Amino acid sequence: MKILLIALALVATLADATKVDYTGHKVIRVVPQTEEQLRFLLKLQEETYDFWSSPSSLGKPVDIRVSPQRYQYLISTLNKVALNHTIRFFDIGKLIKEEERNVVLRRALHSGRAFDFENYHRYSEIEAFVNELAATNPLVSSSIIGTTYEGRGIIMATLSTGSSATKPVMYFECAMHAREWVTPATCIWMMNEVATKYGSDAEITAMLDYADWLITPVSNPDGYEYTWTTDRLWRKNRTPNEGLCYGTDPNRNFDAGFGGPGASNNACSDTYHGPSAFSTEEASAFRDVLAANSGRTVAAITIHSFSQLWMSPYGYQTALPTDYAEMFRVMEISVNALTATYGTQFQYGNIADTIYIASGSSTDYAYMAEGVVYAYALELRDTGAYGFELPPDQILVTAIETFNGLKAMAKEIAAKSQ
């Protein structure tokens, strides 16, 4: 009975009347077959529709969320260029409510216990976990690498044996896009694995002996917290823009082809690049971590969801980097290790060809500005069955397979340096 009362109280909290209601919202899928259709979708993306997958090439599916009020208008608009659609999700609101119930039930069952790595957590809980780990584990220290518009500190964990101030560094950032909840869940699980198994797990021990691991579990705290309190599908940060619209996409705000294709100058767009490169605290914090470790950083990994992809530069153009052969070699090894875990299939290659053109990204910046050859962008589970509402019971398998891929990557980078 006590657990039931706790669960009911939490449901009431999560179902706050001030939240955006997605009841009846659909996700439709279209597949552009002509250049005209592709251009049309690219232009449509500049409007305020929520594209869950972006138009990039002919024959590649594009998913768009649409409200009940705009559904018929969108379909008639698509029909003008002969774009037929299928419905992927009939009611996103139902999916969000199911996610809320799953989160609440696990919270009730684990009330009073240790940190639950198989559930989603508020930013304050993640902060508290990082600080506690730093206080109790000599390998871990925590620091604030930036302060957001709303005053939240962007916390980073440093995992290091402390053996050398010139050791290589591997930097991992998660949740640059607020609604991608499985990414911080994955990153804090990996953080705990490295911190608690160093000295007993030979692979982890060798990995941390070679390089310090820097992990930012939530790179966009304002946006992430907003997905809990107000709008589950919010993507950007929460900086106000001119007019009524809020937020800049931090992963379009880097000085790497800034303002080019795949980013929007419409402040209401989910891919709004901001008024200038590094106008966001989130992108600036990432930049500053790399700058502070310039010459030491051998890997810079940005972790997103969803689509099951492992990608390298470039995103801002289709041309391949000079180091692409080496990028691809390590990607292939990493993806094979990930897939060997549970059979999860990932596509891999350069960003522009694998997912879409995306200018101003952290991955391009790490390679272009800091020369980090092993700069990768990951898109974790799934391929659209749940999308951003991946159930808590898939957190652990997602984290384990991702970590296996990253361990294989780290091993290859270490071997290459010898």
DSSP letter string, 16-37: -TTSPP-TT-EEEEE---SHHH
Contacts of 190 (CB under 8 A, 6+ apart): 172, 215, 399, 402, 403, 406
Structure tokens at 321: 């980097």
Q: What is the pLDDT of residue 277?
A: 98
Q: Which of 191, 7, 6 is nearest to 117 (CA)?
A: 191
Q: Kindly report the pTM of this predicted structure.
A: 0.93
pLDDT band at 16 (very low <50, low <70, confident <90, very high): low
Mean pLDDT value of segment 356-381: 97
Residue type, 245: C
Matching residue, tokens 């106008």: 279
Query: Is 203 among the residues known to form the active site?
Result: no
- Range scoring the smallest mean pLDDT among 35-44, 136-145, 296-305, 341-350: 35-44
Given a cut of 70, whether residue 11 has pLDDT beyond it is: no
Matching residue, tokens 């997103």: 304
Q: What is the pLDDT of residue 17?
A: 60
Q: What is the pLDDT of residue 76?
A: 96
Structure tokens at 110: 């684990």
Residue 149: asked if its preceding bond is cis (omega within 30°), the reply is no
Reduce the secondary structure of 110-124 to three states and give it as a string.
CCCCCCCCCCCCCHH
- Supply angle C-alpha 73, 77, 79, rounded to 5: 120
Side by side, the strands of the sheet bearing 85-89 are: 50-51, 62-66, 26-30, 85-89
Mean pLDDT value of segment 354-362: 94
E-state strands within 206-323: 212-216, 297-305, 309-312
Rounded alpha-carbon distances, angstroms, from residue 128 to 231, 390, 392: 23, 24, 20
Q: What is the pLDDT of residue 4?
A: 47
SS3 (DSSP) at 380 = strand
Given a cut of 50, whether residue 132 has pLDDT beyond it is: yes
Given a cut of 90, whether residue 385 has pLDDT beyond it is: no
Mean pLDDT value of segment 304-321: 97
pLDDT band at 170 (very low <50, low <70, confident <90, very high): very high
pLDDT band at 234 (very low <50, low <70, confident <90, very high): very high
The C-alpha atoms of residue 297 and residue 144 are separated, in whole angstroms, by 19
Catalytic residue among 180, 225, 282, 379: 379
